[in-house]
Structure 1
Amino acid sequence: MFFSPAQIYPFPGTSLAEDPEDIQKEVLENYAKDLPPIYLDVVQHADLSTLIWAPLMFRYPWNVVFGKLSKQNITVAGDAMHPMTPDLAQGGCSALEDAVILGRHIRTSFVQNGQVLVLKNLSEVLGKYVEEKRWHVTLLIMWSYISGWVQQGGSGRGMKFLRDAIFYKFLFLKMVKYVNYDCGKLDF
């Protein structure tokens, strides 16, 4: 597999600043230097008392694959169901998909039960939602991490070859097609 033992961003060799002034300096010198002046102004005038720097954490998707994601009339959705790194920009999209899919399953049950929401059927409804989402979000979690690992993993010869000759030519196209997910319509 592509997962490295160091399961956090930034990648090994970089450090996280703790002092808000150091964070601001790091951002201005290394991340924001090419931003338009209006954005630089935001960084320069940020309230330092609210500024923190925390690593992004990768969580293996095994709990999504093998875990119980709903119990009785309670389920997980959003980041609780699909924690992923931001490398494919699918966290918010997945949360919106959750709402549509969950709403569609609740509506179907509502219509089938004569316009009444039957609480004893809710665990079955939530189970259908979980099963519809389980494998899709598992693959999104993995694709997102792999995308970040390859694209931010350094500029050594091996990584450049992996990124340019394999990732962008083969894997990236599959990822882009995969994120174009049709979660169905929510008809009322």
Structure 2
Amino acid sequence: MRSNNFLDLGIRAGYAPLNDKELYWFVVFKSSPKDEEMIGKPELILKEVIDNFAKHCPQIFLEVVRHSDLSTVTWAPLMFRLPWALIFGQACKGNITVAGDAMHPMTPDLGQGGCAALEDAVVLGRNIGNSLRNGKILSGEVAGALERYVKERRWRAAGLITGSFLSGWVQQGGWLMKFFRDMIFYRFIFSRIVNVVRYDCGKLPSVLDSDTKVD
């Protein structure tokens, strides 16, 4: 069985095979506070998906949902941070900073959440590594290294947040949104918002790049 994705007004759904016996399926929709009642109640989640959220999806998807193992069914809100909150907000203080989802929670529409966290690690490691003196981190250098790390990551992470949100948003509309998505957004706008494929976060410094003396 191959992967399939389904779009309807206000929802995205799909499934993907994990191995010969297991499938991963999902439904994304705009929730309300009332929907939080489904947390921890897999039977209710399946009922709502089949009877409400995914009722217009193809029968094959509904069959996948019906045959789910209840112990694997979960419901969770997608976390999102406004891009300008990251650009203008505070992401470090003294010797403390954030990385990964703590810095840039985003919708999964670009599949870049984990990738962005790895980029954070490289940039953070590089800035701290460049502060080494004789193989040691000077306490007075750490705060400056973290500030440089945040400055370098702000706009990149904000672009990913924006691109991820818009990529999901254009998938959940009617025929007018479909036209905008297929003819305009992915052709002319998307690549200007975020560089997913050709982004280079730099290299980590080696021991030889520090001031350590090697005999």
Q: How high is the TM-score relative to the length of structure 1?
A: 0.76
Tell me: CA distance 1:23–1:136, structure 2 relative to 1, closer, same or farther (3 Å): same
1:112-134 Cα deviation digits (max 9, x unpaired): x2211101110001011001101
Q: How does 1:25-174 map to 2 (within 5 A)?
A: 25-26=47-48, 30=54, 34=60, 40=64, 44-47=68-71, 51-110=73-132, 113-152=133-172, 154-155=173-174, 157-174=175-192
Q: Is 2:195 aligned against 1:178?
A: yes
Three-state SS of the structure 1 residue aligned to 2:82 is coil
Tell me: CA distance 1:162–1:179, structure 2 relative to 1, closer, same or farther (3 Å): same
Alpha-carbon shift at residue 28 of structure 1 (Å): 6.8
> Matched residues in 2 for 1:145 and 1:179: separation?
14
| Native 8 Å contact 1:10 1:55 kept in 2 | no
> Matched residues in 2 for 1:77 and 1:138: separation?
13
Write 1 or 2 for the structure with the bigger share of helix: 1
Tell me: CA distance 1:91–1:24, structure 2 relative to 1, closer, same or farther (3 Å): same
> Matched residues in 2 for 1:168 and 1:62: separation?
23
Tell me: CA distance 1:32–1:84, structure 2 relative to 1, closer, same or farther (3 Å): farther
Q: How high is the TM-score relative to the length of structure 2?
A: 0.67
Three-state SS of the structure 1 residue aligned to 2:80 is coil
Q: Which has the higher Rg, Structure 1 or Structure 2?
A: 2
> Matched residues in 1 for 2:50 and 2:205: separation?
47
> Matched residues in 2 for 1:66 and 1:131: separation?
10
Tell me: CA distance 1:33–1:123, structure 2 relative to 1, closer, same or farther (3 Å): farther
Counterpart amino acid of residue 47 in structure 1: S
Alpha-carbon shift at residue 44 of structure 1 (Å): 2.1
Q: Identity rate of aligned residues, in percent?
A: 49
List gaps (5 residues or longer) in structure 1: 1-8
> Matched residues in 1 for 2:196 and 2:191: separation?
10
Q: Is 2:46 aligned against 1:24?
A: yes
Counterpart amino acid of residue 56 in structure 1: L
Three-state SS of the structure 1 residue aligned to 2:136 is coil
Three-state SS of the structure 2 residue aligned to 1:179 is coil
1:83-122 Cα deviation digits (max 9, x unpaired): 1111111110010001111111111111xx2211101110
Three-state SS of the structure 1 residue aligned to 2:77 is coil
> Matched residues in 2 for 1:27 and 1:33: separation?
13
Counterpart amino acid of residue 29 in structure 2: P
| Native 8 Å contact 2:128 2:145 kept in 1 | yes
Question: How many residues are paired up?
Answer: 169
| Partner residue of 1:10 out of 29, 38, 59 | 29
List gaps (5 residues or longer) in structure 2: 1-27, 207-215
